[in-house]
Amino acid sequence: MTDVSALKPGSTIGIFGSGQLGRMLTTSAAELGLKTHIYSDVTGPACDVAAENTIASYTDFEAIKSFAKSVDVITFEFENVPLDAVKVAADYARLSPDVRALEVAQDRFIEKSFMAELGIPVAPFANIESKSDLAVAEKITGFPAFLKTRRLGYDGKGQARVTTPQDLQHAYVELGEPAAVLEGHMHFEQEVSVLAVRGSDGAVAFYDLPQNTHKNGILNTSRVPSTVPADVIPGAHDIAHKIADALNYVGLLAVELFVMPEGAANRLLVNEIAPRVHNSGHWTQDACQVSQFENHIRAVAGWPLGATDRHSAAVMTNLIGQDANDWARLAAQPGASLHLYGKRQARPGRKMGHITEIFPRTPQTKAKT
């Protein structure tokens, strides 16, 4: 990898996206004396705290060019920035991570094919371009299975669980007959995520694996330490390390994993990757000396990575929709830290904030390799 000169305090980091992840990246950057410039097609929570904002379409290439020329490096708070916009920005500023990571993460079929090429286990999957592909796909995955759009689905959107050929036909029509993938349903023991941060010099560090639970397709809680067997953890680290190296990745990379029962052909299966800071890493704000947000900023700025060890056990719970209206009681809860995103309207399924409960530290795993 080409060495990247460290940005000096006072430098500006451009961020594509104005959501809560951008907001938390911005506040972490400010603690290091760095500024942020947000580019988004909508005004979001990050705009309230950034030094500068550009609100324009992702097809406004002149605005993107001006934005890119005004910053020292560009990063992302969500992975679905249109690639044409990213490629324009890349002509005028360094990207961290670069466009390849987004190309892989934006398309579920490309993502799973990428894993397979690396020899990383995933659930059985099949590409679907039209109704004529459904019969072949179901033979590959069997039932039950999950039908997912290749692009843009998140938090349970753009997907459906199917148990019969009739279910599959109906779900495909309901989704609008898009380019899609069919994934075999795996009977896993638990879901965890690897939070790996890779510096511009190729150094990689890991946070403890959080154990994740979901409700209505949305992350509900992330807990550390997880109950994942100790002998599984090195394999999880190896998978994330292999992905990060293959993408020449710089920044925080999240890899969602299924932990399969002991005796399974593959103990770990990759569900998906996120080339950005991740909801399951929010607990690092309160349980670690250096959060995932600060470490992402450090990495993209070419700074040394911070410590990833945690000083406490933690349970992070998302506040969805009206949950955040209980802010007064939550703010008074002993041993808990409340984080609200400043969103002006609470809608069902919308992430409005999170709360992290802290407990005395319990045994942890080695964080660095």
Distance of CA 218 to the CA centre of its chain: 13
Alpha helices per DSSP H over the chain: 20-31, 61-69, 83-90, 99-105, 108-118, 134-141, 165-174, 233-246, 284-287, 292-300, 327-331
Q: Is-cis flag, bond preceding 121, omega within 30?
A: no
From-to residues of CATH 3.40.50.20 in the chain:
12-95
Give the type of residue at 362.
Answer: T
- The answer to whether residues 274 and 76 touch, using CB atoms and an 8 Å cutoff, is no
User: Would you state the pLDDT for residue 364?
Assistant: 53
Query: Nearest Cα to 97, choosing from 247, 282, 288?
Result: 247
What's the pLDDT score for residue 368? 39
Round to whole Å and give the CA distance between 47 and 318.
21
Owner of token pair 């023991």: 189
Where does residue 263 fall: left (phi above 0), alpha (psi -120 to 50 degrees), or beta otherwise?
A: left
| Count of all residues that appear for the chain in the document | 369
- 124-173 residue pLDDT tens: 999 999 999 999 999 999 999 999 999 977 666 788 999 999 999 999 99
pLDDT at residue 242 greater than cutoff 80: yes
pLDDT digits (tens, 9 = 90+) for 315-327: 999 999 999 999 9
pLDDT for 361 equals 87
**Residue ranges, CATH 3.30.1490.20, the chain:** 124-184
Tens of pLDDT, residue by residue over 281-310, are: 999 999 999 999 999 999 999 999 999 999
The radius of gyration computed from the CA coordinates of the chain, to the nearest angstrom, equals 20
Here the tokens at position 7 are: 């940005």
- Asked if the model's pLDDT at residue 365 lies above 60, the reply is no
pLDDT value for 340: 98
Maximum alpha-carbon separation in the chain: 59
Residue 182 pLDDT > 50? yes
What number does CATH give the domain 190-360?
Answer: 3.30.470.20
CB 15 within 8 A of CB 45: no
What pLDDT, on a 0 to 100 scale, did the predictor assign at position 294?
Answer: 98
- Partnered with residue 313 across adjacent β-strands are 359
199 vs 155, higher pLDDT:
199
**Euclidean distance between CA atoms 120 and 91, whole angstroms:** 33
Q: Which two three-digit tokens encode residue 9?
A: 């305090």
Residues of the chain with CATH 3.30.470.20: 190-360
Helix/strand/coil (H/E/C) assignment for every residue in 309-336: CECEEEEEEEEEHHHHHHHHHHHCCCCE
What is the rounded average pLDDT for all residues in the chain? Answer: 95
Which residues does residue 315 pair with via DSSP β-bridges, in sequence order? Answer: 223, 357
CB atoms within 10 A of CB 123: 18
**Over residues 108-137, mean pLDDT:** 96
Mean pLDDT score, 82-87: 97
Is the domain defined by 124-184 classed in CATH 3.30.1490.20? yes
Burial label, 265 (beta-carbon count in 10 A; 0-12, 13-18, 19+): exposed
What is the model's pLDDT at position 126? Answer: 97
Q: How far apart are CA 35 and CA 26, in angstroms?
A: 7
Query: Is residue 362 pLDDT above 90, yes or no?
Result: no
Find where tokens 């990689």 sit. 204
Chain centre to alpha carbon of residue 43: 21
> How far is Cα 131 from Cα 282, in angstroms, rounded to an integer?
40
Please tell me the pTM assigned to this model.
0.94
Report whether pLDDT(177) > 70.
Answer: yes
CATH number of 12-95: 3.40.50.20
